[in-house]
Structure 1
Amino acid sequence: MSLQIPISGAALRRGQEAQANEPRAIAARYDSALNRVVVDLANGCTLAFPPALAEGLEAASPEQLSSVEIIGCGYGLHWEELNVDLSMPGLMAGIFGTRAWMARQGGRSTAAAKAAASRANGAKGRCPRKTS
């Protein structure tokens, strides 16, 4: 017995609009030479990102990264062994994890000048005064 759920015309239109306008993956792979997850989109574009940017992928092995699957009609990526799911609209917007993950990533910097300034300011016990 199959259950039929009626779909309103408005819901059908929203779904068709989303399918036409939102990024959908048609192929995904891990490129070990570039150290990038590479996603081919239905609109002909390609998205590539380093796994270190994405929550749950930062410590994954190349073998684990290679097991990427496309889910949800192309709206998401899934790594079964890592239990990681990333949404294509989120990736396209630069969202590589949860809100807490993204907040922690925003404060990180590896710039030598910033690190040196931070050490110098820390040695003073305060932030430097502004000079006009």
Structure 2
Amino acid sequence: MVKADLTIDTELKGQIARARQAGATLDDTEPRAIRAWYEMVSQRVFIELRNGVIMGFPQTLLQGLEDATPEQLVAVEITSSGYGLHWESLDVDLGVPQLVAGIFGTQKWMSEMGRQGGRVKSDAKAKASRENGKLGGRPKRILI
């Protein structure tokens, strides 16, 4: 029984060591915020990363923040690791690596944003549609 406990203890220590190493690697390679703020004039949430890069995101793109008031948005907090942003009064958490990668919410949120973008009407889009129509429109589906 004692030998089995020692084996488990050794395995657990090894797992903990590997997890700590993986965490240290991510901490060195993934973007981490050192500062975050909301700017009312541009209606953007800004983050400053450890490497000095500053990025801004329109509040309307960020899931959970689209209808928030400026008073709620200025209360942004950075997690101790710099990995996330948190708004206590809104119960919203956003990951810094995800924001940097252009992921502003869940997969469903991002799909809906894409769908809305596809509905946008513009002169350029209308012109492109007319030009494509001159080429014969969509190719016919060939069923095999």
Settle same-fold status: TM greater than 0.5.
Answer: yes
Matches within 5 A, 1:66-105: 66-105=74-113
Counterpart position of 1:61: 69
Counterpart position of 1:111: 121
Counterpart position of 2:39: 31
Instruction: Tell me the CA shift for residue 84 of structure 1.
Output: 0.8
Q: For 1:42-72, what per-residue CA distance to the aligned partner results, in whole angstroms no more than 9, with x for missing partners?
A: 1111111111001111111111110101115
Counterpart position of 1:131: 136
Q: TM-score, normalised by structure 2?
A: 0.72
Instruction: Tell me the CA shift for residue 13 of structure 1.
Output: 1.8
Consecutive unaligned residues of structure 1, counting only runs of 5 or more, are: 118-127
Instruction: Tell me the CA shift for residue 115 of structure 1.
Output: 8.2
Structure having the higher helix fraction is 2
Over the aligned positions, Cα root-mean-square deviation in angstroms equals 2.6
Does residue 44 of the first structure (1) align with residue 49 of the second (2)? no
Looking at structure 2, the residues matched to 108 and 114 of structure 1 have their Cα atoms a distance apart, in angstroms, of 17
Looking at structure 1, the residues matched to 21 and 116 of structure 2 have their Cα atoms a distance apart, in angstroms, of 42
Consecutive unaligned residues of structure 2, counting only runs of 5 or more, are: 1-11, 128-132, 138-144
Looking at structure 2, the residues matched to 75 and 24 of structure 1 have their Cα atoms a distance apart, in angstroms, of 5
Instruction: Tell me the CA shift for residue 37 of structure 1.
Output: 0.5
Counterpart position of 1:120: none
Alignment counterpart, residue 9 of structure 1, candidates 12, 17, 22? 17
Identical pairs, percent: 43
**SS of aligned partner of 2:45:** strand
Q: TM-score, normalised by structure 1?
A: 0.78
Q: Which has the larger radius of gyration?
A: 2
